[in-house]
Structure 1
């Protein structure tokens, strides 16, 4: 490719091409969109300078010797960079002037004399621009030689070839492959995006996960029904500025019946930025995307919401406490801010998730009306450590007036947090009766956990019966040192496998050591041993089965006392078996 006649280009063309050279050379650099002026920054490359400092580029269209006015403009850009409060957080050690004109010795000396001796000033001139033009000839083709129209036309041809149910008339398989190869080579000359095509039959590949493909801005699938052919296209930005130069946009309109659930979702999005999924057929519009991909959108559904890497604000890891009216901390949990959105009407929405996934809170704050609406959602507790679930639900059970909450940054003194008396519920809210029932169900399991190093997992609470809970309560009571008395039904006995030489003295109590276990969902928790104490034991029957002797035992009143086994407790009277 020959050299570019920079002097024959319009100023806007020069700036567009030269700026893209910088962005392609430094893919993480971003262009600054002026609000009240750009503050002397056209392109910012954070952390790219010495010792992780920031590099600022000032792009100019000048192709000939600088005039006095142009010199004042350049100097003014550097002065604004150093004085604009919007850039006070930057640490700039390199400032680069980019314009396709090589400086004379006098011009270079003038640049170095602009002040700010701590900042290294670098001039990227004509020689640099010509080198970039040779390296990134796709940029030159696109901006100066009509390459944009060729790329969009070529992509339409690709989609036609891969989406046809049969070969176009007069084309062999070899000819289709050749045309695809030629077309894909043209698409590879797009200066802003790469297009990765895949083709096949049967089940298409799964959708890429967020962050799985660095730089990917769009994934499309064209699938024939009944397991036919499919094609996918991944559009990958070559640099951060690509989406500024050629953004992906969707325009259209929603249709919602007044008072419908979808109408409420739209209102919440406009007010708070809350995500929603439109019902099928409720949206009609058009998608505009690079490479000619896109077109009319009809009969589908549209999800609108924050991306996985959206801005969560500073210090998303938080600690939340419940304080009594005197300011004493009653309970606390660690949470993470997982979503933060703002609506077009000025409302804000914040979602906090308890770090173990026990519950999520969603706050919607209508700033103009100064109203707060807080909702709770619960995660799947099955399989989570019961101590964690119980502690989190206990925290929620205290989240009512006249108590208050205090929010602090995790791993900092809670006393430095912010106290909020409006973020609690009325004490007669239905949720507290429900929470109390769940806590009563889980409380004996937390007592069991104190006696074992095996994590007790929360069972599926829908499958828990009254018999299960009564069993947990009995085991917990035994572990707490209580003695439990039970009576077996008439006509029944306690069946124990013992040695054939074991005898019982009916005048003395018998202590039988048994494993103490608790069945919790699919777990069998070993909690040591317990004693079954029989007063005036009576042997009803002995049976030899498989080399073992099974004893059928009872007591005069059919009662049996259960207690925790203490190896240091040796009774003078009675027998141990």
Structure 2
């Protein structure tokens, strides 16, 4: 690429392109345009919490005049006020333009730096030329008819792929009956390179599958994802992901959409849509729409009479913070505690409502606040139990324990994880959990605690299995196994028991105790977990009948004797067996 003659380039294009260079180097950077007469663009680069580096981009490409220096000084003073109003600390201020400084310029800049509390440096022609060499697609877009070339690239994509990107022009599968996967590797690579070669603001990924994305499943998306479009072409579904190369991409070339949102009264969709409008809370379910028109980069926009739209929460990870939630008894004794990752509030479009949420590390416990900003301020609390399937029992136990203590009469408080806990305590509202939800949670909590005990006695990593009904979890058997492993002796009643003895074994006595052992095996999600042996003691038994089976062994059926039908079961601890010389009957 030949060197750019900056003195021959439009002043506005210089500021746009140079500021975009910086945003591409620092993807989290954002631009602030001057509203006063000093001109230029401030590019603010987050360095750490409330700390920023600021690049003041000027269009000057020839030696500075006194008027241009005055403009730079006004920009310097303005950004200092802008930062002070927001509680920012400016770590560095860079005067940036396609012009290297003279000795006199540097002396002037040193004097300017002394007027404020942050250092000032010059980023000149050598820096700008270096950035231009690094980002030729930005140069092409702003200076070399790149906008038109980018549109041509979409046509190239269509030519390379051999298909129209519309559902109206279907491909005849018979034309590709002998196609092998290896035949299309180069073509797929060319498709992606073709889409990504020219666009300075966005890059594109795509995938082809035989089924549409699941509409109601949670969506995990990268923070760079600006839009996702799914098209049905024949029997296949093509998903296009449009990624912003930097935060300013969405301001430079915004993605716009027009549609009518549809939700039937009384449904989860209607509730989510109402709370999105009232509190800014991102809907958790897809919303049906009609008359949809979406303008997307790369020619991927679409129009449709009907569809589904997911409104996703922005990436707030870097702004999250920790808090501790405690449940306390009426006597102010801490009953349960959990650490939460809290996310900053989201506001409604009219600024009258806000929502925020926090979640524990397992993702099972979530707290939300829905607030009318008033006056007067009105706050609604909501607690949600997430899916426990596939998680480790010890990870979800603290979350289920919190729900177990959400009872009227108890109190809760939210405080910093470290430091004083001298904060206000609030009463737990009545009906925060329905009786059905509370009972369901209590059963799950006992089950999870039993699995935690069982995990200590096996090398098999236990995860909570998938289930549709509680019966599928074998909860009674799991609770009993945990009781045995903790040393409890279980007692019950029995009616008959059959034992197979060797052919040469003596005949059992007429009555007395009978002691036996059998494997303790637990079914966890279809996997058999071996937990050793359990001992079974029939306190008083008599041989009701003895038969010989086909192998010649004795099959003895016992029944209770002396009206004593008590049976006791305990676990044969391997450590106890090895340390004892007493034989086991």
In structure 2, the residue corresponding to 1:114 is in which secondary structure?
helix
In structure 2, the residue corresponding to 1:113 is in which secondary structure?
helix
1:483-562 equivalences under 5 Å are 484-488=491-495, 492-497=496-501, 500-502=504-506, 504-506=508-510, 509-515=512-518, 517=520, 519=522, 521=524, 522=526, 523=528, 526=531, 528-535=533-540, 537-538=542-543, 540-541=545-546, 543=548, 546=551, 548-554=553-559, 555-557=561-563, 559-562=565-568
1:73 is matched with: 71
Aligned partners of 1:97 and 1:122 also within 8 Å: yes
Unaligned runs of 5+ in 2: 172-185, 578-582
Instruction: Report the CA distance shift for 1:123/1:538 in structure 2 as closer, same or farther (over 3 A).
Output: closer
In structure 1, the residue corresponding to 2:413 is in which secondary structure?
strand
Residues of 2 paired with 1:29 and 1:186: CA distance? 23
Instruction: Report the CA distance shift for 1:418/1:284 in structure 2 as closer, same or farther (over 3 A).
Output: farther
Aligned partners of 1:472 and 1:518 also within 8 Å: no
- Per-residue deviation at 1:476? 3.7
In structure 1, the residue corresponding to 2:101 is in which secondary structure?
coil
1:98-109 equivalences under 5 Å are 98-109=96-107
Q: Which shifted more, 498-507 or 59-68?
A: 498-507
Q: TM-score, normalised by structure 1?
A: 0.74
Instruction: Report the CA distance shift for 1:485/1:222 in structure 2 as closer, same or farther (over 3 A).
Output: closer
Residues of 1 paired with 2:145 and 2:78: CA distance? 36
1:18 is matched with: 18
Query: Alpha-carbon deviations, 1:93-147, whole Å to 9, x = none?
Result: x532222344333223322333449966443445655565566554444334543
Match of 1:226 among 227, 231, 235: 235
1:148 is matched with: 147
Residues of 2 paired with 1:204 and 1:528: CA distance? 48
2:55 is matched with: 57
In structure 1, the residue corresponding to 2:434 is in which secondary structure?
helix
1:330-479 equivalences under 5 Å are 330-337=335-342, 341-345=346-350, 346-368=352-374, 370-382=377-389, 392-410=399-417, 412=418, 416=421, 418-422=423-427, 424-426=428-430, 431-432=434-435, 434-436=437-439, 439=442, 443=446, 446=449, 450=453, 453-454=457-458, 460=467, 462=469, 464=471, 469=476, 472=479, 476=483
Matching of residue 322 in structure 1 with residue 331 in structure 2:
no
- Per-residue deviation at 1:324? 1.4
Aligned length: 539
2:42 is matched with: 42
Q: Which shifted more, 360-369 or 151-160?
A: 151-160
Aligned partners of 2:538 and 2:565 also within 8 Å: no
- Per-residue deviation at 1:245? 1.6
Match of 2:293 among 276, 286, 296: 286
Aligned partners of 2:137 and 2:198 also within 8 Å: yes
1:1-12 equivalences under 5 Å are 6-7=6-7, 10-12=10-12
Residues of 1 paired with 2:448 and 2:144: CA distance? 74
In structure 2, the residue corresponding to 1:406 is in which secondary structure?
strand
In structure 2, the residue corresponding to 1:32 is in which secondary structure?
strand
- Per-residue deviation at 1:89? 4.5
In structure 2, the residue corresponding to 1:326 is in which secondary structure?
coil
Larger Rg: 1
Residues of 2 paired with 1:7 and 1:145: CA distance? 15
In structure 1, the residue corresponding to 2:469 is in which secondary structure?
helix
Aligned partners of 1:517 and 1:528 also within 8 Å: yes
Aligned partners of 1:404 and 1:419 also within 8 Å: no
Instruction: Report the CA distance shift for 1:416/1:109 in structure 2 as closer, same or farther (over 3 A).
Output: same
- Per-residue deviation at 1:458? 5.5
Unaligned runs of 5+ in 1: 168-176, 570-574
Residues of 2 paired with 1:536 and 1:131: CA distance? 93
Query: Alpha-carbon deviations, 1:411-438, whole Å to 9, x = none?
Result: x36x52744415x231x67724553466
